Amino acid sequence: MRIIQSSEVAKSVIAKESLFILDVRNTDAFEDWKIEGERVRHLNVPYFDLLDGIEEIEDQLPKDEEILVVCAKEGSSILMAEILEEAGFSVGYLLGGMKAWSEYLEPVKIADLKSGGELYQFVRLGKGCLSYMVMSGGEAAIIDATRMTNVFTDFAKQRGVKITNVFDTHLHADHISGGRQIAKTMGATYWLPPKDAEEVVFEYAALEGDMSIQIGDTRIDIQALYSPGHTIGSTSLIVDDSYLMTGDILFIDSIGRPDLAGLAEDWVGDLRESLYSRYKKLSKDLTVLPAHFMIIDELNEDGSVSEKLGVLYEQNHGLNIEDEKEFRELVTGNLPPQPNAYEEIRLTNMGKIQPDEETQREMEIGPNRCAVR
């Protein structure tokens, strides 16, 4: 029996390799959220239905291919993998289960920057979160970091760069930010839009329009990019005059939802203004780098998630709704379910509650659901 790491699964999802998964979690959990990929095939049978034997599913399992057994934490998948191995199947189990999958970040290089330096995207395949690191002249900035802070600090250390600035484009509702923690550990400045920070209980630097911050030789330009709608403070960043970090306002195949702070009706106008006016004035050659992806089809060949702004104005349905009333209906009516524990996640990101690590994990279980399509 092979022990399979999340990193190996991530690489095979990105390479679009064939992968057979026996997911032994409850059907509800499986239907809510699973490992997805273009050539990933699943069989979901809860482990308790297999304790007496696997005869009933034997003919649904591949004989000439390794079976990846997956459960919530790994306990039942080890037991099931043992049973399958005894029956002659080639098996592996996912180390740490879906919990580990949810926390795994795959670093993907986006570009060498014009002014020197590099831009990396950290793809959280299990949850659809995207974080960024800009490295230039021995310094680094991190944007929309997840709570797995050591991934970012270790990466910076390996590259020999010092983290000087940490940004959150908005107050997140779907995942717990690691930004404040990284800034504290590294002695860096933590930036947050003040309009999203009215209730926070910690010190931060105000991220507002008309300012630009230098990272080594690279300019991170925040000018005129206050872009409310998903939250009232949402602010976009332009890096090196080429990359537009849209936070949760604009995604590749969808747009941000305005309701996660309970103010959908109030913010729908801001969202329309940001998408149909503010962004429209920007260069179509900017590469959009969002804070999320929703479906695995949004991944490029190399595993990155990005697209030219011009292309999005042609292809993203959410940017092509002429009628304002229709737009309003799309983003306020018929919304997908809200992310798991989103209210507690907002409180955590405000510093108002301090759940332990195990509770933080539980709070983040499931897909991110920050978009409307």
For residue 52, the minimal CB distance to other proteins (Å) is 8
Cα 207 to Cα 166: distance, rounded to the nearest angstrom: 11
Stretch that binds other proteins, among 75-83, 150-158, 192-200, 341-349 (CB under 8 A): 75-83
Binding residue (CB under 8 A) for other proteins from 17, 49, 266, 297: 49
Question: With respect to other proteins, which residue has the nearer C-beta, 26 or 90?
Answer: 26
Q: Cα angle at 309 between 177 and 225, to 5 degrees? A: 55
> Is 75 a binder of other proteins (CB under 8 A)?
yes
DSSP result, 90-138: -EEEETTHHHHHHH--EEEEEEE-TTS-EEEEEEETTTTEEEEEEEETT
Tokens of 207: 């991220």
Give residue for tokens 């009516």: 333
Minimum CB separation of residue 97 from other proteins in Å reads 9
* Binding residues for other proteins restricted to 277-296, rule: CB under 8 A: none
**Beta carbon nearer to other proteins, 87 or 224:** 87
Nearer to other proteins, 49 or 265 (CB): 49
Non-local (6+) Cβ contacts of 163 within 8 A are 139, 140, 141, 142, 152, 153, 156, 182, 183, 186, 188
Q: Give CA 42 to chain center in angstroms.
A: 23
Q: Minimum distance between the CB of residue 74 and other proteins, rounded to whole angstroms?
A: 9
Positions 346 through 365 that interact with other proteins (CB under 8 A): 362
Binding to other proteins in span 54-73, by CB under 8 A: 71-73
From residue 76 to residue 115, what is the string marking binding to other proteins with x (rule CB under 8 A)?
Answer: x--x------------------------------------
Q: Which of residues 205-234 bind other proteins (CB under 8 A)?
A: none
Which one of the spans 48-56, 81-89, 236-244, 348-356 is the region binding other proteins (CB under 8 A)? Answer: 48-56
Residue among 48 and 202 whose Cβ is closer to other proteins: 48
Cβ proximity to other proteins: between 85 and 273 the closer is 85
Number of amino acids touching other proteins (CB under 8 A): 16
In the complex, the smallest distance separating the C-beta of residue 76 from other proteins, rounded to whole angstroms, is 4
Q: Kindly state the smallest distance separating residue 79's Cβ from other proteins, in Å.
A: 6
Q: Which residues are known catalytic residues?
A: 71
x/- mask, other proteins, residues 11-30, rule CB under 8 A, reads: ---------------xxxx-
Q: How far apart, in whole angstroms, are the C-alpha atoms of residue 246 and residue 283?
A: 14
Residues 73 and 99: beta-carbon distance below 8 Å: yes
Closest by CA to 58, choosing from 95, 27, 89, is 89
Q: How many residues does the chain have?
A: 373
Least distance from other proteins to the Cβ atom of residue 364, Å: 14
Which distant-in-sequence residues (6+ apart) come within 8 Å of 367 by Cβ? Answer: 32, 33, 127, 128, 294, 339
Tell me the residue ranges of DSSP E strands in the chain.
2-4, 19-23, 40-44, 67-70, 91-94, 106-112, 118-124, 129-136, 139-143, 162-167, 189-192, 205-206, 212-215, 218-221, 237-239, 243-247, 255-256, 287-290, 307-308, 371-372
Minimum CB distance to other proteins smaller for 71 or for 108: 71
Rounded to 5°, angle at Cα 32 from 29 and 33: 85
Angstrom CA distances, 357 to 46, 59, 77, 267, stand at 27, 41, 23, 32
CB 165, min distance to other proteins, A: 37
Beta carbon nearer to other proteins, 7 or 27: 27
For other proteins, the binding residues (CB under 8 A) are 26-29, 46-49, 51, 71-73, 75-76, 79, 362
